[in-house]
Amino acid sequence: MPAAAPLYPDDAVLLAPLADYTDYPYRRECRRCGCHFAFTPLVDAGCLAMAPHKAQLDLYRGPDEPWLGVQILGARPDFFEEAIRIVNDHAFDVLDFNLGCPMPKVVNRGAGAALGANLPLALKCLEILVRRSRFPVTAKMRVLDAADPEPTVRFALALQDAGIRALTIHGRVAKMIYAGPVAVKVIRAVREALCIPVIANGGVFSRADLDALRTATGCGRVMVARGSIGNPWIFRELTAAAGTPPPAPVTQADVCEVLEREVRGMVELCGENLAFRCSRKIILSLMKGRGFHHELKTHVSQLHTIADFSAFLTALHHDFEPVPVTA
């Protein structure tokens, strides 16, 4: 039987699943700047199984999205059984299993990065996903030892044998969260050991970071996470052909335009009340480091309606001349 076609081209740049960020309007802005491969926010299997109506926003796929993956988190096989039934009713290109989230509220219940220390449970959950999902199943994990590749390679080979079609590796151990150097030698060892595509993840905030990670790991495929927060324009730089002149600097006017599209998009998607609760982090992330006065940032928590937001946006436009700022 011929091998399955790769899920991603060799030079793919993927937008990571980011809880509280990668809703449809956020992804749409990243796509405007060149992003093709994107994921929903991380979806909790328990929430999906017990209260599926609460996860519908996270599972939404826009009619104009060419490619979309969904990532699922959990450590209870019974929840996965029900969650997959619900996910299968939607349209995705990939179902990704989260084995890498380092947040204490996740790790303390045995999910995310905690599964790196519990291979039997990880494989039990993965078996359900592979058996029941109508989409190709992939996984995302962290390196298990920053100095010794062997534990991570062994774990990754077990995931490959269980049927995943691609593996993303974040190059920091769980206790480091997002701090410290990326263990590029460990990622390279995994890429060399596996037959499936390996996607490198960690520390990409510029084209120079992307090129350095590709060179050090041997992975052409790279996933971008925190580097995209407040900065959808990063994909203009990351997806450009080699030798392309750098894109024009982002201006404060650009920031205001994206803010308006994202917030109004969220209101259209889920109504004013939920939209402004979900959008405040995104608004602040877009304003961060771009010359806006602190006083304006304090007003973000007071935005509850489109009228509030319109007045806020007017203040942003009128208080500043559109000057170049770094992406």
pLDDT in tens, 180-223: 999 999 999 999 999 999 999 999 999 999 999 999 999 999 99
pLDDT band at 14 (very low <50, low <70, confident <90, very high): very high
The last residue of a domain, from among 238, 270, 286: 238
- Secondary structure of 60-120 in the HEC alphabet? CCCCCCCCEEEEEECCCHHHHHHHHHHHCCCCCCEEEEEECCCCHHHHCCCCHHHHHHCHH
For tokens 């994909």, what's the residue? 235
pLDDT at 297: 86
Asked whether the whole model's pTM tops 0.85, one would answer yes
Say whether both 193 and 290 belong to one domain. Answer: no
pLDDT at position 3, please?
56
Q: Are residues 202 and 265 in the same domain?
A: no
pLDDT at 326: 46
Task: Give pLDDT, residue 319.
Answer: 59
290: left (phi over 0), alpha (psi -120 to 50) or beta: alpha
Residue 31's domain comprises 13-238
Q: What is the pLDDT of residue 322?
A: 41
**What integer is the mean pLDDT of 248-277?**
92
Query: Across residues 131-138, what is the average pLDDT?
Result: 97
Residue pLDDT, tens place only, 94-104: 999 999 999 99
292 and 183 in one domain?
Answer: no
If you average pLDDT over residues 135-150, what whole number do you get? 97
User: And the tokens for 185?
Assistant: 């030698």
Q: Which CATH number does the domain housing residue 273 bear?
A: 1.10.1200
Last residue of a domain, one of 238, 262, 283: 238
- Residues 163 and 263 reside in one and the same domain: no
Helix (H, G, I), strand (E, B) or coil at 205: coil
